Amino acid sequence: MSFSHKFHTSSLREYDIRGIVGETLHEADAFAIGRVFGSIVTEAGGRKVAVGRDGRLSSPALEAALINGLMASGAEVISIGQGPTPMLYYAAFTEPTDGAVMVTGSHNPSNYNGFKMMLGKKPFFGQDILNLGQRAAAGEVVAEAKGSMTQKDVSAAYIARIMRDWDGEKKLTVVWDNGNGAAGDVLAELVKKLPGRHKVLNGKIDGTFPAHHPDPTVPKNLEQLINAVRKESADVGVAFDGDADRIGLVDNEGNILFGDQFLILMARDVLREHPGATIIADVKASQVLFDEVAKAGGKPLMWKTGHSLIKSKMAELGSPLAGEMSGHIFYNDKWYGFDDALYAAVRMLGVIARSSESVAQFRASLPHVVNTPELRFDCTEDRKFEVVKEVAARLKASGDKVSDTDGVRVNTEDGWWLLRASNTQAVLVARAESTSEAGLSRLKSELAGQLAASGLAPDFSGANAGH
């Protein structure tokens, strides 16, 4: 039977395949992903592919179509069922697999879904995804074959492996907000094994996300957790996104810690065991993080935003720890180098449980800076990368200190500002940070001037957030 399939142009992304179910993403797409990805695995001499799904209402049907596609290419599918994305990554590292596919819409609204992939033990992204789309359109697949599917529950082994690295010394009171995401069942079992007192909010997996949107980087989504932390007099609050590969934190006073802040806590701990090690963070991270890593005896490395890009760089350098502003935390120290909010939470709780200071005291001890949140400006796909190039060229011509690791990040006496093109949307992303409000105002003016010189008129109203 001949095969050919075209994906919606918006669904093939840099790090995954994603779309609106019934509009830009369909079961036929899931089958095609399985058919082509199964062919790629087979051609590489592999056979076994692990498959998991999150708790979205559309995930069971998409997973079934995906598995049918994989089996039609002769793959032997190991279905681990419903759970967090990092549990699938864990299966990919600990089971005899040649690839893995997770059906997940991550932190997107409930009508979205998507697919995250691994080939062997490495992320499958960027050009790999574009090639998959081209192969589907051209019908480049192996001859139809009869594969197989077995079901395997790896959750108990996954929880036991996480707990192996618990190293706390005192009992904590912790509030967890699962956000009705895919970690719910695993989290319920995990907290039974952790010492201390644990309260889980929104623990039931519900793909309609009735409590709030499952994205812990948005302060509004943490309001319920903040209130519960204060009510319970908890030591810390922990939040997950929809598939639990990203983490959010709230201190014992109910203040939000950003990704680049709690990475400092983790980096100091890891550097005690690995002095001089490289700690990686993305270009959106505060200068405070890079300075504090250096103070703790580490080598800070600013790298490109994107979980697949960070994972690849970690593997290349043998870095024990990395993180992103978005809350992806990657442990390569004792763990496998992938982003896992459950594992990161347990390691982080261990740090807190061995510390004489509270999380709020840690937060207050950090150098105070004022910065904008992530600012996003609409910019067409064909223009967004060009704007960044134009800005970089003008800055370099005028002798400014510029890093072009990912977009353009400019250091001035006032602090720094960043402009980069989103890899997943038709937007430009910007951020600025200074030690003073006046300095931040000057940085925003400089950024606005550069955008105006490239024909854009940004709106900076409400663009301040100290941390």
The residues assigned a catalytic role are: 106
Q: What is the DSSP string of 146-206?
A: --EEEE---HHHHHHHHHTT---SS--EEEEE-TT-TTHHHHHHHHHHSSSEEEEES-S--
Distance CA 377, CA 208 (A): 28
Q: What is the DSSP string of 50-69?
A: EEEE-S-TTHHHHHHHHHHH
Distance CA 432, CA 430 (A): 7
The label of the residue with tokens 């599917």 reads 149
Number of neighbours of residue 138 by Cβ within 10 angstroms = 12
Distance CA 323, CA 312 (A): 13
Number of neighbours of residue 166 by Cβ within 10 angstroms = 15
Question: Per-residue b/e over 345-356, b at no fewer than 16 CB within 10 Å?
Answer: bbbbbbbbbebe
Q: Where are the beta strands (DSSP E) in 215-333?
A: 236-240, 247-251, 256-257, 278-282, 299-303, 321-323, 329-331
Do 243 and 54 touch, CB atoms closer than 8 A? yes
Query: DSSP secondary-structure letter at 286?
Result: -
Adjacent-strand bridge partners of 151? 79
Torsion of CA 133, 33, 342, 281, to 10 degrees: -10
Q: What is the DSSP string of 90-125?
A: HHHHHSS-SEEEEE--TTS-TTEEEEEEEETTEEE-
Distance CA 395, CA 387 (A): 12
SS3 305: coil
